[in-house]
Amino acid sequence: MGLNDTPRAARVHIGIFGRRNAGKSSVINAMTGQQTALVSSVKGTTTDPVYKAMEILPLGPVVLIDTAGIDDEGSLGQMRVQKTMEVMTKTDIALVVIDSTTGISETETDIIVKLKDKKIPVLGVINKTDIKPLKQEELKELEEKLGIRILPISAETGKGVWELKEAISKMLPDEEVKLSLIGDKVSEGDIIVLVVPIDNAAPKGRLILPQQQVIRDILDNNAAAIAVKEHQLKDVLKNLVNPPKMVITDSQAFEKVAAETPENIPLTSFSIIFARNKGDLAEMVKGARAVENLQDGDKVLIAEACTHHRQSDDIGSVKIPNWLKKHTGKQLQIDFASGSGFPQDLDKYSLVIHCGACMINKKAMKYRIEQAVKAGVPIVNYGVLIAYLHGILDRAIKPFEQELA
């Protein structure tokens, strides 16, 4: 991702599903107008899911996900199918590609049922209509049978591709497309102070993604953002003619920032903003309070959506476990998970602690929360937990109290 690109996590994720050789990769190439995906007449050319961030008119910034055929065979094929099924957890819109020369089968029917069960908007795409065109009555019969809208296209000639892109652009509700971070809490001319520690874990020469996105959201709403290090906060607040509308801090500096920010100035963190934006803040607050129920021997999962080089004072693997054990006084067994995968056996845990999820989309984070809730396991993210462990959670969530009532 370039510095001027929309982050992948903020893009609409479009999953492309179908049997082998239905033309899924060809449909992606037709939509993008370039050879984005490898195509071949050999079945099973696409193995692992392939993610491609693109700007496509009239859709805007999207991630197209090319998946392996859902009819793949053999032990290796079943592993590919499992990877394809996992893509559903992060899919905002699903395209089910059907080969017009072979028609529909139980495979397409099953995948559509699974997508609908997950409440994912589904659009059918009949490909290869240049070889075998469909009559209007045949198309209508297919739509009634599958219970979805179906568009005929030819990835080879490009016929129907623009109509497909227009149809996709109308499928996602406005609130899912425009993900507000903090813009709805600020007004034109407001000043927001951002506390941004620059420690060993900070990337060289740039701010981390949540900080970048919050600053952009503030500016988009015609407010002003002032970024400071934690030791500069007191002087900056003293030198401002009027108090800022809000102070937003990195969670690791919560204790110091809370002590130096007057009570009349609203205070929250980047991570709490992301809990509200991508997850379920109310559920996270419940998860934080569940810390009091932990007992000796309980298992706690600390999950991060990305992989990064861990420092000696890493927030997830070092600081949070230490704070947690100090607060509870219990002997806890802590497991770690990172990357795109998420454990399925959550019921063995007494608490799940998740990162701020800046690197995955809202759909993927919602899925992880739903899995924890389904397993009866409290879930909380880093910022909400840290605020709770430092005794400042009520203050940190006060800017959003109406939503939590």
Question: What proportion of the chain, given as a percentage, has pLDDT over 70?
Answer: 91
Query: Which structural domain range is residue 339 located in?
Result: 281-389
| Residue 398, domain member (yes or no) | no
Query: What pLDDT was estimated at residue 330?
Result: 96
| Residue 23, domain member (yes or no) | yes
Which range, of 106-115, 143-152, 304-313, 316-325, averages the lowest pLDDT?
304-313
Domain match, 348 and 326 both: yes
Domain match, 286 and 371 both: yes
Domain match, 23 and 169 both: yes
Query: What pLDDT was estimated at residue 177?
Result: 45
Task: List own/partner pairs for 27-34 with CB under 8 A and 24 or more apart.
Answer: 27/95, 27/97, 27/125, 27/127, 27/153, 27/155, 27/164, 28/52, 28/64, 28/66, 29/155, 30/153, 30/155, 30/158, 30/161, 31/56, 31/64, 31/161, 31/164, 31/165, 32/56, 32/64
| Residue 374, domain member (yes or no) | yes
Is residue 48's pLDDT more than 90? no
Domain count, the chain: 3
Q: Which of 149, 177, 205 finishes a domain?
A: 177
Domain match, 30 and 170 both: yes
pLDDT digits (tens, 9 = 90+) for 339-398: 877 888 999 999 999 998 888 888 899 999 999 999 999 999 999 999 999 999 999 999
| Residue 36, domain member (yes or no) | yes
Q: How far apart are CA 329 and CA 348, in angstroms?
A: 21
Domain match, 133 and 18 both: yes
| Residue 219, domain member (yes or no) | yes
Is residue 201's pLDDT more than 70? no
| pTM of the model as a whole | 0.81
